Structure 1
Amino acid sequence: MSEIKVLLADDHAIVMEGLEVILSASAEVEIVGSVFNGEEVLAFVKNNEVDLVVLDINMPVMDGITCAKQLKKAYPAIKIIILTMYAQKSFVEEIVKIGIDGCLLKSNTGKELLGAISMVMNGRPYYDQLKAFKSEDEVRQYKLSKREIDVIRLMAEGLTSSEIGERLFISELTVQTHRKNVMRKLDLNKGLQVVQFAKDNGLI
């Protein structure tokens, strides 16, 4: 299996060095370059083979979001993971709309980053940290209750309705009712589709 060719983009040398140490420890990852702003990212991918770009959201010259937009337009096959210092709700919808493959806080860039790289390279988005960015209003747009989201989260763990009921201290029938309501609200007919939808939209 060939190594995943990763380009790092962050204007803080200390952060960059930390990322290099973390990723270099993995036999599955090859760091092909390190740059300091979005323009340098675009110049690098034009002349080099890159599978995935790890982007800081705040960089001089060209920020991570602007860079990600241009990358996805010109090089849709390249995966993108955004790093941010803060859980800024203002850019969550933008991240999803652009099609950025992953996002996590810089405070969680150890095993989480390696896990995120593995997931996005296998075609699955990594929005684990986005659930912390969501406001109640943003969750409400899907018309899902907190209890329904709790049920979806446990569905994602592979639990049966009976096991979910035991975990949430409710009856199995109540769990089944929640599942039916979720599928109706999201216009989906399979549990796996519900779980994938929730992951894709940062709900779990």
Structure 2
Amino acid sequence: MDTLNVVIADDHPIVLVGVRELIERDARFRVMGDATCSNELVALLESEPVDLVITDFNMPGDSPYGDGLKLVEYLTRHFPKVRIVVLTMISNPLILTRLHELGVLAVIQKNQLHDEIQAMLKAIARGNPVRSNGPQPTSVMDDGADLDERFTRLSPKEHEILRLFVSGQSVNEIARGLNRSAKTISTQKISAMRKLEVSSDQDLLTYCLERNLFN
């Protein structure tokens, strides 16, 4: 096979160095550059012939390309021939499902980075399907309830708190605006997250924004 050109994107230098080292061990792949933010990643893709992007799910900075699902959607739309591998610590099945729906080649959990990167490179080089040992994507229906049913579990107060949180307000700001304690707001936010079956703020924001729940 021809040598495949690879670009790596992650804001953690140790991850960049580690992934680069793994790729450079295999002569069938060539690292064309690395990026520490979405802007740098897109600039590399616009300037270099790239076959494979390995990018972190969470990227820093205020970029018009965003990060997470927004960035992946941009990449798949504007660079349809580039294969995308996502590095993440997120295990939310809804997020994983959406990434696979967008056509990413693989989602690699960072706590299994070394083994999964090597397995992925071997699979690509041999033309085999890329498999992941991380959490498998499942549909909303597979989780036992559809999105509408989950959302109806929210109380009016939980609904309002999530709406304000997704709009960009912190727990303390919401508490001041609603004249409640920050502890009360935090408790209700956590309760809402349990009902929606998300485990982190990043998952919550992605879940709500991706499905336009508060538009």
Structure 1: gaps spanning 5 or more residues: 142-204
Match of 1:177 in 2: none
Cα offsets for 1:137-192 (capped at 9, x unmatched): 63669xxxxxxxxxxxxxxxxxxxxxxxxxxxxxxxxxxxxxxxxxxxxxxxxxxx
Residues 106, 131 of structure 2: 8 Å contact kept: yes
TM-score, normalization: structure 2? 0.57
Letter in 2 for 1:55: T
Cα distance per residue 1:8-66 (max 9 Å; x no partner)? 00001111111111111111111111001222211111110100000100111321422
Aligned to 1:6: 6
Q: How is 1:24-173 mapped onto 2 (pairs within 5 angstroms)?
A: 24-61=24-61, 62-120=66-124, 122=127, 124-131=129-136, 134=138, 138=142
Shift of 1:123: 6.7
Q: Which residues of structure 2 form unaligned runs of 5+?
A: 146-215
Check conservation: 2:94, 2:139, Cα contact below 8 A. Answer: no
Q: How many residue pairs end up in the alignment?
A: 140
TM-score by length of 1: 0.60
In structure 2, relative to structure 1, the CA distance for the partners of 1:111 and 1:127 (3 Å cut) is closer
Shift of 1:86: 3.4
Question: 4+ runs of 1 displaced by more than 2 Å?
Answer: 117-128, 133-141
Question: CA separation in 2, counterparts of 1:102 and 1:45?
Answer: 19
Percent of residue pairs identical = 24
Cα deviations across residues 87-119 of structure 1 (Å, max 9, x unaligned)?
233411211221111111011122321322343
RMSD: 2.5
* One-letter identity of the residue aligned with 1:85: M
